């Protein structure tokens, strides 16, 4: 899986899937799902049915990313 570039963080939608969050954190997809399943993902994860979503704000806070003015 291709790691996400710092400049790509500004383009994230409000909520991202677990694979996108894993890319931003440099984790493998499998490990990210493992962490989410065991409630150990490093930021907030929302479970919707059988899928996981990560609020971009929680992910950006974890990465200490500051969005600039648009």
pLDDT reading at 56 higher than 90: yes
| pTM for the full predicted model | 0.86
CB atoms within 10 A of CB 65: 14
Distance CA 38, CA 1 (A): 22
Q: Pick the range with the lowest mean pLDDT from 6-15, 16-25, 48-57.
A: 6-15
Distance CA 33, CA 28 (A): 9
pLDDT reading at 15 higher than 60: yes
Give the pLDDT confidence score for residue 4 in this predicted structure: 84
């Amino acid at each position: 899986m291709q790691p996400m570039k710092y400049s790509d963080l500004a383009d994230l939608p409000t909520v991202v899937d677990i694979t996108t969050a894993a890319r931003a954190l440099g984790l493998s997809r499998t490990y990210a799902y493992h962490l989410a399943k065991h409630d150990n993902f490093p930021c907030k994860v929302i479970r919707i049915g059988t899928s996981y979503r990560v609020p971009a704000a929680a992910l950006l806070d974890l990465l200490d990313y500051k969005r600039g003015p648009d």
